[in-house]
Amino acid sequence: MNLLRTSENSQPTTAQTGAQPRTPVLLFINGTWRPAASTHTFADINPTTRLSYATVADGNVSDIESAIAAAKAAQPAWEALPPAARSGFFYKAAEIFQSSQEKFVNALVEETGSGLGKAMFECSLIPLALREAAALTTRATGEILPSNIPGKVNTISRTAAGVVGVISPWNFPLYLSLRGFVYALALGNTAVLKPSEDSPISGGTILAELFEAAGLPSGVFNVVTCSRDKVKAVAAAMINDPRVARISFTGSTAVGREVATTSAAQFKRVVLELGGKNPVVVLDDADVDYAVNVAFFSAFLHQGQICMSADKIIVARNLYDSFVEKLIAKVSMFEPLEPSNPMAVIAPIINDRQLDRIDRLVKSARDAGATIHLGGEKLGPFYRPTVMTGVTRDMDIYREEIFGPVAFVMPADSEEEAIALANDTVYGLSSSIITGNATRGQILATQIEAGMVHVNDTCVHDEPHCPFGGMKASGWVGKWGASGAIEAFTEQRWISVQTVPRAFPF
């Protein structure tokens, strides 16, 4: 089954051409595929080969304004559809996705360097999110409240915010892009997506293909891709446009702060998922082998290039030596491989900027006295999985998000010290506690300053129906997921009706 139905204005898709997309890849605005207004393009780079994977339309401010205009025009009719009608598009998209999943997996592998396992894991979340969105269309319920005024009826309702501007990242591009807009669409909003320049296809145009195939009305969902050189101007145009009611952003804390500051000046609400310095806390009653498995998955899935990845592992003193020995042994089993290899767990780093940054953090810590037990070096586009000890608070690697296949292990002499180390960061996204006593873990979870704490499980975890988001410098205002979307993407309105004449004092 082809991903897209054929039509004159449809571009060739990965489903029709295989893993390598036919180029140039176009913008998707108001239900049509078009080149950038400037006709400029940019190279989408394969992280493994560091060669061009595709040529992509390089949108500019004019293109983002056209997309916003299309979304604004389409929004009233989209919101006016019966909930069941909106749901149908999401159910259809889920059906199409499952029948074409291999094409999405291939795009993630080729464009972002995702190992096959990670790509399949990411794709497993897509039908869940689409079906959760379908169920959300009837969940923005209202209230009838009593009044102190005789004969008055107070109704509280939820209406769509309007146009949602979405800026998404490259690391889990398919899921994080979808999550950024699909619940907003379910609630009657329309959207304009600007995917990362490192994943314009798997984080952008392939989703436009999916929803076009599902028959989504023109203008409801739009995608504008652009190069790194134009990101600031295009994003600023989206954020500053008064027709955009909400900004949905996933990315670094530094950029998120700029987004929040600019939006706040316009009293524009934002939903932010930002960086993390996520700990795995291993308590003194934990099963060491299980703790090592959790820590490995948490730290090294997708080469640690996940906002929830754990790079700080805090282990009770009585288990510390055994844990470090076993973690080193496990990590040593996984050398970097090309992502298309079915055995690939550690695949390439997304680009040279990130590769050099990881190496700088590791080498700086080593030079300051930390010990590298394994890894600690670049191998072409890869970074060898790295285990470190002896990291101290004065080192950059202790404070900064690494976003690479690097984990450092720290001992803790008490429960209190372990929690203090876990909280010793400006971030507060996700955390993990490993213990032989789940009740103990649940109690301690309330003391960790993070938006999400998972007891006896990895800190890299998401379920579409749960509220996803962080605290401190990891998130602000809204939550992702269906349960947070109603608050994030609707306006609460109070309408009162005076059913009998009211007596006024003058």
**Domain containing residue 304:** 278-455
Domain tally, the chain? 2
- Locate tokens 């009044």: which residue? 147
Task: Indicate which CATH number applies to the domain containing 386.
Answer: 3.40.309.10
Residues 218 and 292 in one domain: no
Same domain, 314 and 367: yes
What pLDDT does 482 receive? 83
pLDDT tens for each residue of 104-122: 999 999 999 999 999 999 9
Q: Of the candidates 446, 435, 358, 354, which has an alpha carbon nearest to the alpha carbon of residue 397?
A: 358
Whether 171 is covered by a domain: the verdict is: yes
Question: With contact defined as beta carbons under 8 Å apart, do 476 and 453 qualify?
Answer: no
The reply to whether 92 and 144 lie within a common domain is: yes
The answer to the question of residue 503 being in a domain is no
Give me the residues of the chain with pLDDT under 70, please.
Answer: 1-23
Residue 505 lies in a domain: no
Burial (Cβ within 10 Å: 0-12, 13-18, ≥19) of residue 474: buried
Alpha-helical (H) ranges within 187-287 are 206-213, 231-240, 253-265
Q: Is the residue at 436 inside a domain?
A: yes
- 178 with 254, same domain? yes
pLDDT of res. 4? 42
273 is catalytic: yes
The answer to whether residues 177 and 265 belong to one domain is yes
Reduced 3-state DSSP string for 303-329: HHCCCCCEEEEEEEHHHHHHHHHHHHH
Q: In whole angstroms, how far apart are CA 81 and each of 89, 185, 405? A: 11, 12, 46
Residue 294, SS3 per DSSP: helix
Which among 67, 42, 60, 66 is positioned nearest to 233, based on CA atoms?
60
Return the pLDDT at 23: 67
Instruction: Say if residue 361 is in the same domain as residue 431.
Output: yes
In a domain, 429, yes or no: yes
State residue 1's pLDDT score. Answer: 29
Q: Is residue 468 part of a domain?
A: no
Residues 244 and 345 occupy one common structural domain: no
Same domain, 209 and 110: yes
Q: Is residue 386 part of a domain?
A: yes
In a shared domain, residues 198 and 309: no
Residues 268 and 282 reside in one and the same domain: no
Q: Catalytic residue, from 197, 209, 212, 273: name it.
A: 273
Looking at the structure, do residues 218 and 365 belong to the same domain, yes or no? no
CATH number for the domain that contains residue 128: 3.40.605.10
pLDDT of residue 476: 76
Q: Are residues 237 and 294 in the same domain?
A: no
The answer as to whether 229 is a domain residue is yes
